[in-house]
Structure 1
Amino acid sequence: MTWLKEIIGSEKTIIAMCHFQPLPGDPSYNKDKGMEYVVEMARKDLWALQRGGVDAVMFSNEFSLPYLTKVEPETVAAMARIIGELMSEIEIPFGVNVLWDGKLSLDLAAATGAKFVREIFTGTYASDFGIWDTNVGETVRHQHHIGAEKVKLLFNILPEAAKYIADRDIEEIAKSTVFNNRPDALCVSGLTAGAKTDLQILKKVKNIVPETVVLANTGVTIDNLEEQLSIADGAVVGTAFKYEGKFENHVDQKRVEAFMKKAKAFRS
């Protein structure tokens, strides 16, 4: 039994993304509608996901485009306000992801009681956002410093819109990441949000670290969920739950219900 069963309540877990609208400081933030609008849109998506039957939810500033690799304090402050206002309505385990800042993701988790965080904790990359460096030792020490040692760390080892500066094989990356850092899970992604996770890469990662939780991180749909979950221990799902399967849209409860019906049938 993995920690997914203990913390979230199921194996072959489906973690749904609740994408926040642009926040104060983001180029696309709607100053006229303000934070009340952002909170209400998050509430709408949260309820559609919960009523649709997902196992857990992860709150993320997905529309803070273009992303920063060192996030400004107003972003995490806004995210804390949203989660705080929704706290009494959250009925399932939740995690957080402050794109792309591991320390602030942990700060937000500590402040809100999130059970897990997903982030780029290791590696150095050439990305759409410039040279992207990390310091996992510093980040994990920060985790313990703020009392967040029980928060599960989901390591995204194939970051979207980025490539390792060193030419490293994915099996080598997975094995050394697990050996050096003891992640709670490895997340395997496609090129962008909504892009299908490569089955062969997913299989290589799971085979090389069979005792570690491996999640399909992007592009899992109702049509491919069985083949993805036949390898992965679970999936992080965002775009597939939205109206017309489009990244920029809100969550469609009927799509969530249909997806979860198939997922639950598969794991039973």
Structure 2
Amino acid sequence: MSWLKDIIGTEKAIIAMCHLLPLPGDPYYDHEKGMEYVVEMARKDLQALQDGGVDSVLFSNEFSLPYLTDVKTETVAAMGRVIGELMSEIRVPFGVNVLWDAKKSLDLAAATGASFVREIFTGVYASDFGTWDTNVGETIRHQYRLGAENVKLLFNIVPEAAKYLADRDIESIAKSTVFNNRPDALCVSGLTAGEETNSQLLKKVKEIVPETVVFANTGVRLNNFRDQLSVADGAVVGTTFKVDGKFENHVDGKRVKEFMDQVRAFRSELAQ
């Protein structure tokens, strides 16, 4: 039995993305509509996701493009405001992700009471955002300094838009990450948001670290979720819940309900 049952309430859990619009300091922030509009749109998406039956929600500054690896204070402050205003309406366990800054994600988790964080905690990469370095030892010590040791850490070991500088296979990465860092989960991704996670990669990771929770992190859809969840312990789902299945759009409640109805049927089959 994994921690998913205790924290999220079910195995084969679906964590739904609540993508926040551009925030103050971001290039595409709408100064005229302001933060009130950001909160209003986040509320709309959160409601659609929860009414559709998702197991959990992950708040992310997905539209803070292009991303920073050393996120500015104003971004964390804005995300804290959004989650704070929505707190009384959040009915499912939630996590946070301040792209792409692990320590700032933990700061936000500590401030909001988030149950988990998804981030790039380990590795050195050549990426669209330049050379991307991490310091997992310092990050975990920061977590404990904050008193956030109970926050579950979801390690993304296949970062989007990036590649390990060293030539390492996925099995080696997964095995050494688990041995050295004791992650609560590993996330396996496609190239970008909405890109299907390679099922063979998922299988390789799960086989090499069978005792660790493994998530399919991108591209899980109605036509592939059974294959993905037959291997993975859960999935992080964003784009497929959007209007017309497009990353830029807001959440479509009907798509969420259709997806979650089928996921629940699948989980019932596994329980028989």
TM-score scaled by length of structure 1: 1.00
Q: CA deviation at 1:45?
A: 0.1
Q: Matched residues in 2 for 1:156 and 1:63: separation?
A: 19
Q: 1:233: which partner in 2?
A: 233
Q: Which residue of 2 aligns with 1:18?
A: 18
1:163-216 deviation digits (Å, cap 9, x = unpaired): 000000100000000000000000000000000000000000000000000000
Q: Which amino acid aligns with 1:266?
A: F
How many Å separate the matches in 2 of 1:225 and 1:199?
10
The equivalent residue for 2:161 is 161
Rounded to whole Å, the distance in 2 between the matches of 1:213 and 1:219 is 18
For residues 63 and 254 of structure 1, what CA distance do their matches in structure 2 show? Answer: 23
Aligned pairs for 1:110-129 (under 5 A) are 110-129=110-129
Distance 2:153 2:136 in 1: 11
Q: Residues 1-268 of structure 1 correspond to what in structure 2 (within 5 A)?
A: 1-268=1-268
What amino acid maps onto 2:143 in structure 1?
Answer: Q
Unaligned runs of 5+ in 1: none
SS in 2 for 1:230: helix
How far apart, in 2, do the equivalents of 1:69 and 1:225 lie?
31
> How far apart in 1 are the matches of 2:185 and 2:131?
25
User: Aligned AA for 1:232?
Assistant: A
Q: Secondary structure, in 3 states, of the residue corresponding to 2:138?
A: helix
Q: Distance in 2 between matches of 1:16 and 1:249?
A: 15
Code of the aligned partner of 2:94: F
Superposed CA deviations along residues 110-131 of structure 1, whole A, max 9, x for unmatched, are 0000000000000000000000
Per-residue CA deviations over 1:50-108 (Å, capped at 9, x if unaligned) read 00000000000000000000000000000000000000000000000000000000000
The secondary structure found in structure 2 opposite 1:69 is: coil
* Cα distance in structure 2, aligned partners of 1:45 and 1:231: 29
1:207-253 CA-partner distances (Å, limit 9, x unpaired): 00000000000000011000000000000000000000000000000
TM-aligned CA deviation for residue 36 of structure 1: 0.1
How far apart are 1:22 and its partner, in Å? 0.1
**Runs of 4 or more above 3 Å deviation:** none
Q: Residues of 1 paired with 2:251 and 2:10: CA distance?
A: 22
Q: Give secondary structure in 2 for the equivalent of 1:235.
A: strand
Instruction: Report the 3-state secondary structure (helix = DSSP H, G, I; strand = E; otherwise coil) of the residue aligned with 2:231.
Output: coil
RMSD between aligned residues: 0.2
Q: Which amino acid in structure 2 is aligned with residue 159 of structure 1?
A: P
Distance 2:194 2:222 in 1: 13
One-letter code aligned to 1:179? F
Distance 2:228 2:262 in 1: 13
Paired AA for residue 217 in structure 2:
N
**Secondary structure, counterpart of 1:229 in structure 2:** helix
CA distance in 1, matches of 2:70, 2:220: 29
Say how many residue pairs are matched: 268
AA at the equivalent of 1:100: W
Q: Give 2:185's aligned amino acid.
A: A
Instruction: Give the TM-score normalised by the residue count of structure 2.
Output: 0.98
Identity %: 78
Secondary structure at the aligned position of 1:134 is classed as: coil
